Homo-oligomer: A and B are copies of this chain.
Amino acid sequence: MFEARLGSTTLLKKIVDALREIVKQSILDCSDSGIQLQSMDNSHVSLVSLSLEKACFEKYRCDRNMSLGMDLNSLSKVLKCASGDDAVTISAPDKADKVQFSFESAGKERTAEYELRLLNLDQEHLGIPDTEYDCIVIMPATEFARICRDMNNFSESIVIACNKDCIKFSASGELGSVNIKIMQTSNGDVSVSVQEPITLSFAGRYLTTFTRATPLSDKVKIGMSADVPLLVEYVIEDYGYIRYYLAPKVDDPDA
Contact = CB atoms under 8 A, between A and B. Distances in A.
Interface string A159-190: 00000000000000001111111110100011
A143 interface: yes
B189 A150 contact: no
Q: Which of A78, A146, A176, A182 has the most CB of B within 10 A?
A: A176
Given A74-B175, A179-B112, A181-B110, A153 B81 contact: yes
Q: Give the residue among A146, A178, A190 with the most B Cβ atoms within 10 A.
A: A178
A117 interface: yes
A77 interface: yes
A202 interface: no
Contacts of A74: 175-176
Nearest to A178: B114
13 contacts: A74-B175, A77-B153, A77-B175, A78-B178, A109-B185, A109-B189, A110-B180, A112-B180, A113-B178, A113-B180, A114-B177, A115-B178, A117-B176
